[in-house]
Amino acid sequence: MRRNAVPTLLFTLLATAARAQEPGRADTAGQDTSGVTQLPEINVTVTRSEEPLSRVPFAVGVVDRADLQRGQPTIGLDEALNNLPGVVVSNRYNFSLDQRISIRGFGSRSNFGVRGLKILLDGIPQTLPDGQSQLTNVDFADLERAEVLRGASSSLYGNASGGVISFHTQRAAAAPFAQRIRLQGGSGDRSGDAFYKWQSWSSARSGGLSGTLSISQFKADGFRQHSAAEFRQLNAGAQYAFSGSTLGSIRLGLADNPRAENPGALTLAEYLANPDSAAANNIIRGADKDAQQHQLALGLRHFDAAGNEYEVSLFGLLRDLANPLAAPPPTGPGPDIGTYVAIDRAVGGARVSASRRLGASERSPRLTAGVDLQRMRDDRENLRSVAGARTDSTLLDQRERITELGPFGQVQWTPDERFLLSAGARYDWVEFDLTDRHFADGADNSGTRSMSALSGNVGASLSLDQRVVPYVNVSTSFETPTTTELVNQPDGTGGFNNQLEPQRAVNYEIGARGQPATGVTYSVALFLGRITDAIVQQEEVGGRAFFRNAGRAHNDGAEVGLSVSPVAGLSLHGAYTYARYRFADYKIVSGAEVDTLDGNRLPGVPEHFWRFGLRTGLPRGFYLDADHTLSSSVAADDANTIVVDAWGAGVTNLRVGWGGEVGSLNLAPFLGLNNLWDRRYVGSVTLNGVGGRVIEPAPRRVVYVGAEIGYRTGS
């Protein structure tokens, strides 16, 4: 794999500077102790225009900095997003594959990366034009909030939009300079593994210019065999106010992931014998991942005197991936022979939008319209590997180009102060073009495929008073296969799988939210999803998956969220998701045999999922936070022949800490215990793993300690 010395040198120099900086006072997560969400005071932008959360006719949840960071390891999305109903984050504890994020069943088919969802970081897509999302440039310790739109949203964001997760990094402090250092480390008390993470966050402001710089490193031995990982991230951003109505921005993200060993999934017998073990082939064949990713984005926003808004963003991404897999090549297999995947990726894109009020009245409709454009180029090689090392034996060599064009429009109208109407439409055109450069197999597998769709949504909300705001919406979604899904073929040949088609869905939702009493907020939603040509995983072999279309699937369910603050300094919250996700028409034909799977559960997602939370603000700056998660059983394959047990009494995470000032410093030490009761459970499953190799164990009790040290100059 080509290595770029410039990012590595930047990391080294900036890390050295960060460690030498004087610790200082800054806003820390430990300062927020109320835990109370006041709906009327929250505005969200995930719906493409800024609206009060209490009025949005969609299911939208907001996670603030306290839930994202206070006493948390800031390593995975499951730490905070599982607090939202309708969202299930399954932690594989395998940094080579990322966590599985499912929103109302979308994304549940993913055995690596993120599928079916749109991911944004400060408004910049982390989702590629083929619908695959990556979290490589997202540092959870650098986030200020996350907005999550649950439900189909292709009319807002296009391909791969069963839901939207919009991350916002921490803005520059009001002071001229602020500095924060965060250090943490821990270990499992049984396996003896260890991990640590440090982060330096700096902020500066002068006149109309402000900026932030976050540098971090994470390293883990892994609680299983062959599961060590290391990540280094740099995220920098600057904003400049050219005038009172024009704002420019620049954002740079550098990420280096030199090691992410893949332990693979276990069979039930292996899990019962030793849950800390790894799949033998993954060890022998050196399954691992080495990736570098760099992203640069430029933005310009302008507001005129009439309150109209205009915005343009330009962004680019470079990614270099070396990924030895345990999957054997189609010919010449051997005990230590695997498949080595190398991808050199370049992505460029632009987003242009305008928001205008169609009339002089405050109640006139507001139109938001624009266009998204992305283009990606992948140079992909598959080679034989020996014990994880690449050889010169080429199996596949091809260039893949993907172009996405999506014009959209969204109208919001408030005919009176209580009633809000919303409607939108978007046309998406996605073209896949492949040039085969490997002719040793005697075939030219070059080809082009185009996929397109018109998506729409219509919704309405009625603010009777702050106690109850009912809403209803209907929306459609469009999702193409990702490039990896299109080019992975069981026979190992190049080119596209011409049998794999995009999936489409119609979604119906009715819900309500409100604040019936002081310190009490709730949300409830009922939804029906009707999916045609559902993209499902056919099988998984050694880290390589193959896909097909099922005829129809029904994703129906209910979500309930509740937060109660009975007294000052105490907040209780709960989130429950009922997920009745079923195949409605799914038949697998193999020769003369037809296997009918109609009525089977979609694998990878529990039917019932609960998260209960406690947030406290104790005297003298102390706090105690706790989360308790319950999950019902999970099917691990389409045939539902393998069902992984529920979590029993559940898994408890506990965090205690203190926040306060010592001289000119702001200190926030903390102690955390994950899996407090030392329960044995399965964190995730590999879908349709061959030979029953589906179980991805979770660690037993993990103890970690950390502290934030902050400083800021006078304003």
Tell which phi-psi region holds residue 109, choosing left (phi > 0), alpha (psi between -120 and 50) or beta. Answer: alpha
Q: For residue 7, is pLDDT > 80?
A: no
- Residue partners of 701: CB distance under 8 A and separation at least 6: 188, 189, 190, 673, 674, 675, 676, 677, 678
CB 617 within 8 A of CB 629: no
How many whole angstroms separate alpha carbon 378 and alpha carbon 356?
Answer: 38
Ranking 52-66, 497-511, 682-696 by mean pLDDT, the lowest is 52-66
**Residue 236 burial by Cβ neighbours in a 10 Å radius (0-12, 13-18, 19+):** middle
The count of domains in the chain is: 1
Q: For residue 541, is pLDDT > 70?
A: no
- pLDDT confidence bin for 20, thresholds 50/70/90: very low
Q: For residue 370, is pLDDT > 90?
A: yes
Give me the percent of the chain exceeding a pLDDT of 90.
74
Q: What is the pTM of this model?
A: 0.90
Burial 629-660 (b: 16+ CB within 10 A, else e): bbbeebbbbbeeebebebbeebbbbbbbbbbe
Give the pLDDT mean for 671-682: 96
Q: What is the mean pLDDT of the chain?
A: 89
pLDDT digits (tens, 9 = 90+) for 490-536: 666 677 888 889 999 999 999 999 999 999 999 999 999 999 999 88
- pLDDT confidence bin for 11, thresholds 50/70/90: very low
* H helix or E strand, kind and range, residue 483: helix 483-487
Please tell me the predicted confidence (pLDDT) of residue 192. 62
How many whole angstroms separate alpha carbon 587 and alpha carbon 595?
Answer: 6
Please tell me the predicted confidence (pLDDT) of residue 306. 83
pLDDT digits (tens, 9 = 90+) for 149-159: 998 777 888 88
How many whole angstroms separate alpha carbon 247 and alpha carbon 21?
Answer: 30
How many whole angstroms separate alpha carbon 446 and alpha carbon 247?
Answer: 45
The first and second tokens of residue 602, run together, are 């979609």
Please tell me the predicted confidence (pLDDT) of residue 540. 65
Please tell me the predicted confidence (pLDDT) of residue 544. 66
Please tell me the predicted confidence (pLDDT) of residue 41. 53
Ranking 23-32, 99-108, 430-439, 679-688 by mean pLDDT, the lowest is 23-32
Owning domain of residue 660: 5-712
How many whole angstroms separate alpha carbon 439 and alpha carbon 454?
Answer: 38
Nearest C-alpha neighbor of 153 from the set 164, 144, 143? 164
The structure tokens 């345990």 sit at 326
Give the pLDDT mean for 673-691: 94
- Bridge-based pairing state of the strands 290-303 and 309-325: antiparallel
CB 513 within 8 A of CB 505: no
How many whole angstroms separate alpha carbon 384 and alpha carbon 390?
Answer: 6
CB 503 within 8 A of CB 534: yes
Nearest C-alpha neighbor of 214 from the set 204, 199, 229? 199
Residue of 242 and 39 predicted with greater confidence = 242
Please tell me the predicted confidence (pLDDT) of residue 715. 54
CB 176 within 8 A of CB 205: yes
Give me the percent of the chain exceeding a pLDDT of 70.
92
Please spell the DSSP secondary structure of 256-293, one letter per residue: EEEEE-----B-HHHHHH-TT---HHHHHTT---EEEE
How many whole angstroms separate alpha carbon 351 and alpha carbon 438?
Answer: 36
Q: For residue 654, is pLDDT > 80?
A: yes
Give the pLDDT mean for 165-194: 89
Residue of 440 and 26 predicted with greater confidence = 440
The CATH code of the domain that includes 128 is 2.40.170.20
Q: Which residues pair with 102 in a beta bridge?
A: 88
Q: For residue 5, is pLDDT > 50?
A: no
pLDDT digits (tens, 9 = 90+) for 98-120: 889 999 999 888 877 788 899 99
- pLDDT confidence bin for 190, thresholds 50/70/90: low
pLDDT digits (tens, 9 = 90+) for 371-391: 999 999 999 999 999 999 999
pLDDT digits (tens, 9 = 90+) for 564-613: 999 999 999 999 999 999 999 999 887 788 889 999 999 999 999 999 99
- pLDDT confidence bin for 25, thresholds 50/70/90: very low
